[in-house]
Structure 1
Amino acid sequence: MGHSQADKARSRERILNEAATQIRDKGLDALSIGSLMQQVKLTHGGFYGHFASRSDLIAAALEQALTLGEASARASRDPDKPVSVNSLVRSYLSRSHRDQPKSGCAIGALISDVGRADEQCRAVMEPHIEAFIAKVAETLGDDGDSGAIVAVSAMVGALAISRVITDPKRSDAILRTVRDAIVAMASDQ
């Protein structure tokens, strides 16, 4: 008996959600089709009913990871309060964000991987980076976007570096230093 289109869509969504979690946690290259399909309790052969290739899966999983990360950030904000530079930066450059790459911002988790990836993956991430810059520019009240480019670059870089540093105090200091610098930059504008 065949599967309905709704069943197929649900299976694809399960595959994408698991793949998105895995790539945020371990990176693009660590994604294994066999173990992914086993994780979602589907056959390896069934993969090709959903994706033409591993590259197509990675691009779709990257989009899913970026979208889920953005939704998570929106959900963590108080909808009754406007987003301030301070709240945005404190949330992004926090210990909890640093310590949970598989549920946080996919840009911060995957920027280096995507920088080395194929054009398809870079094309998936690029509009999300531009949207992040635009959101920060709006929050900063930046008429252009030069301050937002600096802030986003500093936040993503600090998050990535803080995840590499093994000394918790030094890692916290990196987050705190960049957080304070961005808040100070915003108050100077």
Structure 2
Amino acid sequence: MGHSQADKARNRERILNEAATEIRDKGLDAVSIGGLMQRVNLTHGGFYGHFASRSDLIAEALQQALAAGEAAARASRDPDKPVSMNSLARSYLSRTHRDSRKTGCAISALISDVGRADEQCRVVMEPHIEAFIAKVAHVLGDDARAIIAVSAMIGALAISRVVTDPKRSDAVLRTVRDGVVAMASDE
């Protein structure tokens, strides 16, 4: 007996959700098709009814992870307050964000993996980086400073997740946060 299109769509969504969570937590290379399909209670062979290849799955899961991170950022922001460099930096360069690799910004969680990945993954992430830069450029009024600020914030968040000393990790976040906020007042 066949599955309905609705069932197939729900199964595909379950696969993507699980893969997106896994890549945010463990990286692009962590996804094993067999393990993934087992976790969503589907057969390994059924995978190819949803995706042409592992590369296609990874690219789509990356897209989903990036969109989920952006949605979480929007949800945490007060829509009645204008976006400022101070509010943006305080939210992005916070302990909460540092400690939320599975739900935070997928760019910072996966930037190194995507830099080594196939072009398909780089093409998926690139517009999200450009959108982040554009958002910061809108706040700072300058594309060059926005590139510096975004690069510093992504790098600081990634570094703070590597540093094992909590005080030093906090110092990385605080120092870069103060630096990018100062960029907004240097006008």
Common fold, TM-score beyond 0.5?
Answer: yes
Amino acid at match of 1:135: K
Which residue pairs with 2:50 in the alignment? Answer: 50
Unaligned ranges ≥5, structure 2: none
Normalised by the length of structure 1, the TM-score is 0.97
Please state how far the C-alpha of 1:178 moved relative to its aligned partner: 0.1
Which residue pairs with 1:114 in the alignment? Answer: 114
Alpha-carbon separation, structure 2, partners of 1:129 and 1:84: 18
Alpha-carbon separation, structure 1, partners of 2:97 and 2:87: 13
Alpha-carbon separation, structure 1, partners of 2:4 and 2:80: 41
Unaligned ranges ≥5, structure 1: none
Measured against aligned partners, the alpha-carbon deviations of 1:75-134 in whole angstroms (never above 9, x if no partner) come to: 111111111111111110010111111101010000000000011110100011000100
Which residue pairs with 1:152 in the alignment? Answer: 150
Which residue pairs with 1:5 in the alignment? Answer: 5
Alpha-carbon separation, structure 1, partners of 2:63 and 2:186: 35
Which residue pairs with 1:90 in the alignment? Answer: 90
Please state how far the C-alpha of 1:4 moved relative to its aligned partner: 1.2
Q: Residue 80 of structure 1: SS of its match in structure 2?
A: coil
Normalised by the length of structure 2, the TM-score is 0.98
Alignment of 1:1-189 (within 5 A): 1-142=1-142, 145-189=143-187
Moved over 6 A (4+): none
Measured against aligned partners, the alpha-carbon deviations of 1:3-22 in whole angstroms (never above 9, x if no partner) come to: 11111111111111110010
Amino acid at match of 1:26: K
Alpha-carbon separation, structure 1, partners of 2:35 and 2:90: 36
Please state how far the C-alpha of 1:141 moved relative to its aligned partner: 2.5
Q: Residue 21 of structure 1: SS of its match in structure 2?
A: helix
Amino acid at match of 2:16: L
Amino acid at match of 1:153: S
Alpha-carbon separation, structure 1, partners of 2:37 and 2:139: 41
Amino acid at match of 1:159: L
Amino acid at match of 1:182: V
Alpha-carbon separation, structure 2, partners of 1:154 and 1:38: 39
Amino acid at match of 1:86: N
Q: Residue 10 of structure 1: SS of its match in structure 2?
A: helix
